[in-house]
């Protein structure tokens, strides 16, 4: 267990100098994830911002073994690696011992990759699947995904005379994962590094599949000042739009308490993607936060 910032390992496994945008919180999240892993991991990443920004030949930002195949198959690749290691160890052909981890985007997880993810979770491979969620297809220029929140503007859910932006609501990824009967799943956000890193450890240490759903605010796609990424992540948690919780062998527990919630307006008004919305939409989004508060036991809205 990491208790304070002082407990964190000094080792860096994501090298500086990668090509993620200035202010991107995905780099921050991956840095924390790899630190928590201790480096004895093989990482699989789907085609995404993270992938193109860290593996531009002849440079690499990865100091751990890393593989990318395609957009929709990172869970299957991880399953193959895990099975190979298991077979080789069992047959006495290898004495290597490492964790297998996926770090893929919301498109590669919620949409095109959900079949492979479901298969890997159902089969019970010993791996940690981490979805970093910037709430759209950012690599290809901010198209909506099924993780894009209600009313957000993207290039394929633009607001207009007949559109309020994204029509639909975000899928419940942790719920979907838990429905597979896996032992551990949790939400996280790099604005809360200790919480995130302890969840990475738990996910790695538990036997069988585990899943982490990490909110990673995106300066380019959400249209906020690059200095605000961590602040916006914090507001997502403090408004109740992104409750930090875990489901550990059937027990759901809020891991970061929010005694007094911020109104969602405070979160929304910092982001260009919500600039077009009216009171009506703001109220609907507030309802989402209120429901979360009820479900997870968050406090009332600050006066």
Partner 1 sequence: MKRVALSGNYAVAYAVKMADVDVIAAYPITPQTPIVEKLSEFVADGLLDAEYINVESEHSALSACIGSSLTGARTFTATSSQGLAYMHEVLFMASSLRTSIVMANVNRALSHPLNIWNDHSDAMAERDVGWIQFWVNSVQEAFDATIQAFKIAEEVLLPVMINLDGFILSHINEVLILPDEELVREFIPSKPLFNRLSPKLAYTIGVVGPPEYYYEMRYQIIDAIERSRKNINEVNREFGELFGRTYGNISTYMMEDADYALITMGAVSSTAKIVVDSLRKEGEKVGLISIRCFRPFPKNDIIEVFEDVKSIGVLDRALTPGGIGHPLFTEIVTTLYDSSKIIPVQSFVGGLGGRDITIDDFKQMYKIIKDVGLSGRRKPCIYIGLRE
Ligand X SMILES: Cc1ncc(C[n+]2csc(CCOP(=O)(O)OP(=O)(O)O)c2C)c(N)n1
Place of tokens 């300066």: 219
Residue 33 binding partner 1, by CB under 8 A: no
Place of tokens 């739009």: 241
| Contacts (CB under 6 A) with ligand X, residues 63-102 | 70-72
215: CB partners within 8 A, 6+ apart = 133, 135, 187, 188, 189, 233, 236, 242
What does the block give as tokens for 201? Answer: 């450890």
User: Does 62 sit behind a cis peptide bond, omega within 30 degrees of 0 on the bond before it?
Assistant: no
Q: Which is nearer to partner 1, 97 or 279 (CB)?
A: 97
Question: Candidates 58-66, 230-238, 255-263, 289-297 — which segment interacts with partner 1 by CB under 8 A?
Answer: 58-66
Neighbours of 122 (CB within 10 A): 13
Binding test (CB under 6 A) with ligand X, winner from 32, 37, 45, 48: 48
Q: Which is nearer to ligand X, 23 or 105 (CB)?
A: 105
Give the span between the Cα atoms of 212 and 167, in whole angstroms: 26
Residue 229 binding ligand X, by CB under 6 A: no
Q: How far is the CB of 104 from ligand X (least distance, A)?
A: 6
Q: Which does 108 bind (CB under 5 to 8 A by kind): ligand X, Mg ion, partner 1, none?
A: ligand X
**In contact, 239 and 301? CB cutoff 8 Å:** no
Q: Which does 283 bind (CB under 5 to 8 A by kind): partner 1, Mg ion, ligand X, none?
A: none
Q: Which is nearer to Mg ion, 105 or 190 (CB)?
A: 105
Query: DSSP of 64-88, one letter per residue?
Result: S-EE---SS-HHHHHHHHHHHHHHH
Nearest alpha-carbon partner for 26 in 59, 10, 4, 49: 49
Neighbours of 111 (CB within 10 A): 18
Binding test (CB under 8 A) with partner 1, winner from 16, 57, 259, 280: 57
Residue 12 binding partner 1, by CB under 8 A: no
Residue 134 binding Mg ion, by CB under 5 A: yes
| Contacts (CB under 5 A) with Mg ion, residues 101-120 | 105-106
Binding test (CB under 6 A) with ligand X, winner from 45, 73, 145, 148: 145
Give the span between the Cα atoms of 196 and 210, in whole angstroms: 14
Give the helix/strand (H/E) hosting 41. Answer: strand 41-44
Give the span between the Cα atoms of 283 and 63, in whole angstroms: 45
Q: Which is nearer to partner 1, 24 or 285 (CB)?
A: 24
Binding test (CB under 6 A) with ligand X, winner from 54, 73, 134, 292: 134
Place of tokens 């690059």: 226
Binding test (CB under 6 A) with ligand X, winner from 20, 33, 49, 101: 49
**Three-class SS state of 246:** strand
| Contacts (CB under 8 A) with partner 1, residues 180-209 | none
Q: How far is the CB of 94 from Mg ion (least distance, A)?
A: 35
Nearest alpha-carbon partner for 233 in 169, 274, 190: 190
Residues that bind ligand X (CB under 6 A): 46-50, 70-72, 105-108, 134, 136-140, 145
List residues binding partner 1 (CB under 8 A): 39-42, 44, 51-52, 55-58, 60, 62-70, 72-73, 75-81, 83-88, 90-91, 93-94, 96, 98, 115-116, 118-119, 122-123
List interacting residues with Mg ion (CB under 5 A): 105-106, 134, 138
């Amino acid at each position: 267990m990491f208790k304070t910032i002082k407990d964190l390992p000094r080792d860096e496994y994501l090298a500086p100098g990668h090509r993620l945008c200035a202010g991107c919180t995905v780099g921050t999240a991956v840095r924390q994830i790899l630190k928590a892993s201790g480096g004895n991991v093989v990482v699989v990443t789907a085609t995404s911002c993270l992938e193109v920004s860290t593996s531009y030949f002849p440079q690499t930002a990865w100091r751990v073994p890393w593989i990318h195949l395609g957009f929709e198959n990172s869970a299957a690749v991880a399953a193959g690696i895990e099975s190979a290691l298991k077979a080789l160890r069992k047959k006495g052909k290898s004495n290597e011992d490492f964790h297998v981890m996926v770090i893929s985007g919301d498109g590669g997880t919620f949409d095109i990759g959900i079949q492979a993810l479901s298969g890997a979770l159902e089969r019970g491979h010993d791996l940690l699947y981490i979805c970093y969620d910037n709430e759209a297809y950012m690599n290809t220029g901010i198209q909506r995904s099924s993780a894009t929140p209600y009313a957000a503007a993207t290039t394929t859910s633009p607001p207009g005379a007949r559109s309020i932006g994204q029509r639909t609501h975000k899928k419940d990824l942790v719920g979907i994962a838990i429905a597979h009967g896996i032992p551990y799943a949790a939400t996280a956000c790099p604005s809360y590094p200790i919480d995130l890193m302890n969840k990475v450890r738990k996910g790695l240490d538990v036997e069988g599949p585990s899943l982490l759903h990490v909110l990673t605010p995106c300066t380019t796609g959400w249209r906020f000042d690059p200095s605000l990424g961590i602040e916006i992540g914090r507001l997502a948690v403090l408004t109740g739009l992104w409750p930090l919780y875990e489901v550990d062998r059937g027990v759901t527990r809020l891991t970061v308490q929010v005694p007094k919630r911020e109104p969602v307006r405070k979160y929304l008004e910092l982001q260009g993607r919500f600039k077009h919305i009216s009171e009506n939409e703001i109220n609907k989004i507030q309802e989402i936060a209120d429901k979360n508060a009820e479900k997870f036991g968050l406090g009332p809205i600050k006066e």
